Amino acid sequence: MDHKVLHIILWDQLTQHNAALANFNKDSDHILMCESLEELTYVKHHKKKLVFLISAMRHFAQHLQDTKYPMTYIHLDDQDHLGSYSAHIQQLVGAHNFTKIKIMQPSDYFQKEMVEQWERELNIPIEQVEDNRFLCTRASFAHWASNRKQLRMEYFYREMRKRYKILMDGDQPEGGKWNYDAENRKPPKDGLLVPKPYHGVVDVITNEVMRLVEARFSDHFGDLLPFYFAVTRTQALSVLNKFIKERLSVFGDYQDAMIEGEPWMYHAHIGFYLNCGLLDPLECIKAAEKAYYSGNAPLNAVEGFIRQVLGWREYICGIYWLKMPEYKQLNYFKAKRSLPEFYWTANTKMNCLKQCVTETKQHAYAHHIQRLMVLGNFALIAGINPDEVNEWYHIVYADAHEWVELPNVSGMVLFADGGYLASKPYAAGGSYINKMSNYCKGCTYSPTKKNGEGACPFNYLYWDFLVRNREKLADNHRIGMMYRTYDRMDDEKKEAIAQDSIKFLKGIE
């Protein structure tokens, strides 16, 4: 019996090496790509994110067609759009007598459930092949995690360095240390010249998508214009090369710095392209490693970048698939407060939050310290419901898919998993933001004032967070000292913290 295979490519699997296309027979097999409402509306994605992903899909499909792959591509605005992936699969299977469906493992759990539903409803075998957009398989990560009390990223990262022989001097790390993070925390200084980010040309395909998104998703968050993301592999490679050439050399020093009006800083801006398949992680790692060995970037910058891709990204994906679906329900602090309206409007007197939300609205992007230590820190110490915070992050960032967003937010940002991922909550007062940014200079509140009118809300909310959660945090060795500091405060100070917090939190409800 001849095998006729229907190969399916989801919207974030746009890699030239898609494992589902291995052994593709152009005489009998067929590809299906669909602008599926299941994916497009799982959350109300940022307009710019939708334009980026739909345009990247259409360009990828064009590439496949140009290389003579037989395929069906379903546009969202096609008159014969049947409303779901499964309906189009059923139609194609009926018309062409396919004997099997082949697909690369979905990266998000809801996609996994969608694929399993196809198999039940359509009564056709579905082969899920390993997701080759990652360097550590899910089985390999599960093996590494087995019998470990704590799954610390640092140790996983070291094993990955050894496995792929990245920045290694024999069996030792290049330079004698595994991690140069201590050198990568410089605050911003006057006169920094930040190179302009990549700005792609908007072509006919992208223009069509922009009109579609404005027509169909006009009520979604975010600015559609101007649009400048890469939407093809060639363009994504240009983004990578631009980073290696113009930003990598000082990325390490200022990766935690924040400057008003400089949303892109020295970051790579390649998460968009890694997470939808236009870039391969190993080629990004090798490009950075080459820059070090050729003398074009220092070790602290190169190691810091590689740690993000080879360590953190792989680790986060491993955690997600190890702990789902239960991980999504975790709420260690039982946080219940609703997400404040200013996360959508930027209408707040807190300049750091105003800047980060405004830039998120404009660009569908904020760098990791803005996400963690401003937007996330506030959500943590204000006790915002993890479901609402996770949904917000998933909606607003163009690189956010659930596999990467959920562990970062529930684990790293909110400590909602009780310390499974992070060793302590990333809570901080206003002094951290003041040190690492210039946001406080233009703020209504003073980072040096601890209580009362004009005091930075981060200052008293930090202590209020510790008090509210003392039973769960007092034994944490990394923050035990803070409780001893609080206990030395006089009653008047403690009362001021409590009253300031109550007043502020009521004001944002």
Looking at residue 388, its pLDDT comes to 98
Residue 83, pLDDT score: 83
pLDDT tens digits, 445-491: 999 999 999 999 999 999 999 999 999 999 998 898 999 999 999 99
Contacts of the segment 432-436: beta carbons below 8 A, 24+ positions apart: 432/373, 432/377, 433/258, 433/352, 433/373, 433/374, 433/458, 435/187, 436/185, 436/187, 436/188, 436/256, 436/257, 436/258, 436/369, 436/373
Look-up: residue for tokens 């040309």?
A: 201
Structural domain boundaries of the chain?
A: 5-129, 138-195+247-323, 342-507
Which fold, 5-129? Rossmann fold (3.40.50)
Shared fold status for 138-195+247-323 and 342-507: no
What DSSP string describes 56-74?
HHHHHHHHHHHTT--EEEE
pLDDT at 190: 84
Q: What is the pLDDT of residue 247?
A: 96
| pTM score | 0.96
**In CATH, what class is 138-195+247-323?**
mainly alpha
Q: Mapping DSSP to helix (H, G, I), strand (E, B) and coil, where does residue 456 land?
A: coil
Q: Which CATH number fits domain 342-507: 1.10.579.10, 3.40.50.1110, 3.40.50.300, 3.40.50.11540?
A: 1.10.579.10
User: By three-state DSSP, how is residue 455 classified?
Assistant: strand
Nearest to 62 by CA among 206, 214, 273: 206
182 exposure class (CB count in 10 Å sphere: 0-12, 13-18, 19+)? exposed
What pLDDT shows up at residue 509? 85
In Å, how far are 36, 59, 160, 197, 495 from 230, measured between CA atoms? 21, 11, 29, 11, 53
Q: What per-residue confidence (pLDDT) applies to 426?
A: 94
Cα 229 to Cα 205, 219, 434: the distances in Å are 13, 21, 31
- The reported pLDDT for the residue numbered 181 is 87
**Tens place of pLDDT per residue across the chain (509 aa):** 467 999 999 999 999 899 999 999 999 999 999 999 888 999 999 999 999 999 999 999 999 999 999 999 999 998 888 888 899 999 998 888 899 999 999 999 999 999 999 998 888 899 999 999 999 999 999 999 998 888 889 999 999 999 999 999 999 999 999 999 888 889 998 888 999 999 999 999 999 999 999 999 999 999 999 999 999 999 999 999 999 999 999 999 999 999 999 999 999 999 999 999 999 999 999 999 999 999 999 999 999 999 999 999 999 999 999 999 999 999 999 999 999 999 999 999 999 999 999 999 999 999 999 999 999 999 999 999 999 999 999 999 999 999 999 999 999 999 999 999 998 999 999 999 999 999 999 899 999 999 999 999 999 999 999 999 999 999 998 898 999 999 999 999 999 999 999 999 999 98
Q: What is the pLDDT of residue 184?
A: 86
pLDDT of residue 1: 46
